[in-house]
Amino acid sequence: MSKFYITTPLYYVNSKPHIGHSYTQIACDTVARFAKMSGDEVFFMTGTDEHGEKIEEAAIASGLKAGEEKKFVDAIVPVFKDLWVKLNIKYDYFIRTTDPTHENSVRAVLDKLYKAGLIYKKAYNGWFCTPCETFWSETQVSPGGLCPDCKRQCGKLDETNYFFKTSEYQKWLVDYITANPGFIRPDFRRNEVLGFLKEDLHDLCISRPKSRMAWGIEVPFDKDFVAYVWFDALINYISGAGYPHDMERFNKLWPADFHIIGKDIIRHHAVYWPIMLKALGIDLPKAIFAHGWWVIKGEKMSKSKGNVVDPLDMIARYGVDPYRYFLLREVAFGLDGTFSEEALTARYNSDLANDLGNLLNRTLTMAEKYFEGKVPTTTGVKSQFTGKMKEIAAALGGDLEKAIPNFNFIAALENIWKLVNAANKSIEEAKPWALAKEGKTEELSDVIYSLLESLRIVAVAISPFMPETAKNIAEQLGIPRETLDKPMLADIKTWGKLKSGHPLHKTNPLFPRIEIPKA
């Protein structure tokens, strides 16, 4: 057994969660579930980012007074937690940046860097983007003073703050990224970060004066300042693992195996965070994986355009598992994807209703008709129609071990569906009804057993992606639901686990077909 530590970013709680948040969660949950299935000791952490100017503004806009920001975030956090429950996300730890242990960790980090001479105070005069909460130099802003990240108008700012000496680590970071090609993924994101590092790296402003923004963690060496929200938030990855309050736990969990993030926050995670860790004398995470955005009709989703997809709305209409399946099957993880309900419906009807759901229903119906609703006895007779299923099943466990830990969800699902398709094809070729009519009982028994065994293997294989569907299939095959909560990778690799004579429990179809209105 080995440890596996995976994180999502902390989600900013100035508004409710959207499809992008759910995408990150589902991807991490799937990989974490597969690691557990493989027998690893998994620590999957997620949480919320609760400080900063945007929270302060949102709290006041909601009718609260200055100083009541905690009341605002306390009302929003349950909305995120509730969505993760509805999406069947099984995280191990939920961290909030308002947790006392996290706040103490941030103060400890600031104090250590300050005493090491890596934090200094200076007057700043330049551009500041409020939505991104980021300072930009004259050479970095776009023409007209636009933020290079969000393209919104920056404002001029003239104030004194504390700065972290990130510039001293620029060459080290370039050398590290170059020597460790798997550190930033996908490859084109690594190239993007190296491109950013070709320009001079400016020291990072890590504070805000309380006179302008008071909602934050007080800087331990100057009570007139609070920590910059991004500096505060990044520390969650070590504070949640125990740094510095539980070093035994921290040493067991760190380094993180994966930080999974959206591409819009790659610079914070792949530039500032590694430098912070290096300065602290802490090992870097093994990998940072930045996924793409979901767009609608070629446009990024935004509340102002009214094209934001609400995950709760999608799961109410299509179900949790079809939504999870679509997000991971439709586009390669790392690239941008186009979301449409037409595409979701097409995947649902084709892959889930027609292929998987129909296979289960037909197989159980035939077992009911020909073998009294029990797993048939296998006699050793090898039907010419079952070889392909066994061949694909034999390779499936290894295929998943290559694909899922590398976030290649499409390859993993395609390999699972090879078995589904082979099983469906064997029904058409073997024609069990004809075998029954001709009295070929032993061959019929082999075909139905192979179909049921293929479905058992499919149930285990899809459990990281569609956990409730997997348990539903298992239950209909007479396998206790809770069995799928245990390490089961070996069960994918072993043919013949279903016991002859075991009763089956056919229920309603898995995925009732969605009828598309005719134009």
- pLDDT for residue 514 is more than 80: yes
pLDDT in tens, 275-295: 999 999 999 999 999 999 999
Looking at the predicted structure, is the pLDDT value of residue 307 above 80? Answer: no
pLDDT band of residue 303 (cuts 50, 70, 90) is low
**Token pair 């028994």 in the structure block, residue:** 445
Structural domain includes residue 365: yes
In order, the DSSP letters of 187-200 are: HHHHHHHHHHTTSP
List, in order, residues 6 or more apart from 440 with CB less than 8 Å away. Answer: none
Q: What is the residue range of 481's domain?
A: 340-493
Q: Is position 370 within any domain? A: yes
Tell me the residue type at 122.
K
Report the C-alpha gap between 54 and 60 in whole angstroms: 10
Specify the pLDDT at position 130: 78
- For residues 422-446, give the mean pLDDT: 95
The CATH number covering residue 376 comes to: 1.10.730.10
Whole-model pTM?
Answer: 0.95
330 pLDDT higher than 90: yes
CA distance 469 to 321: 7
Residue 291 lies in a domain: no
Q: Per the domain annotation, does 36 fall within a domain?
A: no
Q: What is residue 119's three-state secondary structure?
A: strand
Q: Under a CB-based contact definition with an 8 Å cutoff, are residues 43 and 254 in contact?
A: no
The yes-or-no verdict on residue 519 having pLDDT over 60 is no
The domain total for the chain is 1
Question: 353 pLDDT exceeds 60?
Answer: yes
How is residue 502 written in tokens?
């075991």
Structure tokens at 283: 């090992």
In a domain, 415, yes or no: yes
Please list the residues that pair with 508 across neighbouring strands: none
Whole-number pLDDT of residue 381: 66
Confidence grade of residue 518 (pLDDT, cut at 50, 70, 90) = low
Q: Is the pLDDT of residue 309 over 60?
A: yes
Whether the CB-CB separation of 203 and 163 falls below 8 Å is answered with yes
Q: Give residue 106's pLDDT band: very low, low, confident or very high (50, 70, 90).
A: very high
Whether 295 is covered by a domain: the verdict is no
| Residue 349 placed within a domain | yes
Instruction: Give yes or no for residue 432 having a pLDDT over 70.
Output: yes
Identify the DSSP state of 390: H
Which string of DSSP letters, residue by residue, matches 42-102? EEEEEEEE--SHHHHHHHHHTTPPTT-HHHHHHHHHHHHHHHHHHTT---SEEEETTSHHH
CA 192-193-199 angle, to 5 degrees, is 100
Tens of pLDDT along 65-97?
Answer: 988 999 999 999 999 999 999 999 999 999 999
Considering only CA atoms, which of 207, 32, 60, 53 is closest in space to residue 120?
Answer: 207
Identify the residue whose tokens are 């952490």. 45
Q: How far apart are CA 272 and CA 230, in angstroms?
A: 9
Mean pLDDT of 420-432: 96
- Return mean pLDDT, the chain: 94
